[in-house]
């Protein structure tokens, strides 16, 4: 699983589609570092958990984790309608 670059017209972000497996530790925020930090917490009960500025958000397999000014989850159908991959 690797990050690729995508453009949200006209904003450039990075994104990765979650396949339902464990999310790579190197992309997760560590418990000791959480404080006010946002980011991927990990997988619990089949859901990917992300701490955002608005609270804890869960995503199901197939959703996209988008990294722009913060990290957030986007449903696959919305992601494909709004973003285009760039080379």
pTM above the 0.85 mark?
no
Question: Which residue from 19, 23, 32 is spatially nearest to 60, judged by alpha carbons?
Answer: 19
Beta strands in 1-87 (DSSP E): 4-8, 11-17, 39-44, 47-52, 55-59, 64-67, 71-74, 83-85
Neighbours of 86 (CB within 10 A): 9
pLDDT greater than 60 at residue 87: yes
What pLDDT score does 59 carry? 95
pLDDT digits (tens, 9 = 90+) for 4-46: 998 776 788 899 999 999 888 777 876 555 556 778 888 999 9
Cis peptide bond N-terminal to 12, omega within 30: no
Residues 61-76: what's their mean pLDDT?
91
């Amino acid at each position: 699983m690797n990050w690729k670059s995508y453009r949200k017209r006209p904003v450039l972000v990075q994104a990765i589609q979650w396949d339902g497996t464990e999310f790579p530790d190197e992309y997760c925020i560590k418990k000791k570092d959480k404080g006010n930090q946002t980011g991927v917490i990990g997988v619990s009960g089949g859901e990917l958990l992300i701490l955002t500025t608005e609270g804890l958000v869960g995503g199901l397999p197939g959703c996209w984790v988008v990294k722009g000014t913060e990290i957030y989850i986007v449903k696959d159908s919305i992601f494909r309608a709004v973003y285009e991959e760039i080379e």
